[in-house]
Amino acid sequence: MEKDLVETFLTIAKVNNISEASRVLYVSQATVSYRLKQLERQVGAQLVLRQQGSRGTQLTPNGKRLLPLAQSWLSVNMAFENFQPQE
């Protein structure tokens, strides 16, 4: 799993909007959609529903289940990136 895919999913979950997620992440809407599809392929489930008649999004039940795991994954990933070995 790639960090940018997880960050994108978490941002969509937070702002409930693909357009807003693209602004927050400083990437195009197409990039946000692509990253989301990549993550959905990796986990084998749809994670986000685009709401009809609006630009909003909603997490699917699988998206809601993945949310705390993604938050934990990102936290651990950041800890590894910031690891400073002691001599």
Q: How far apart are CA 2 and CA 24, in angstroms?
A: 18
For 4-54, how does the pLDDT look when each residue is reduced to its tens digit (9 = 90+)? 999 999 999 999 999 999 999 999 999 999 999 999 999 999 999 988 766
| CATH top class, domain 3-82 | mainly alpha
- The domain ranges of the chain are 3-82
The pTM assigned to this predicted structure is 0.90
CB 46 within 8 A of CB 33: no
Residues 6 or more apart in contact with residue 86 via CB below 8 angstroms: none
For 63-85, how does the pLDDT look when each residue is reduced to its tens digit (9 = 90+)? 999 999 999 999 999 998 899 88
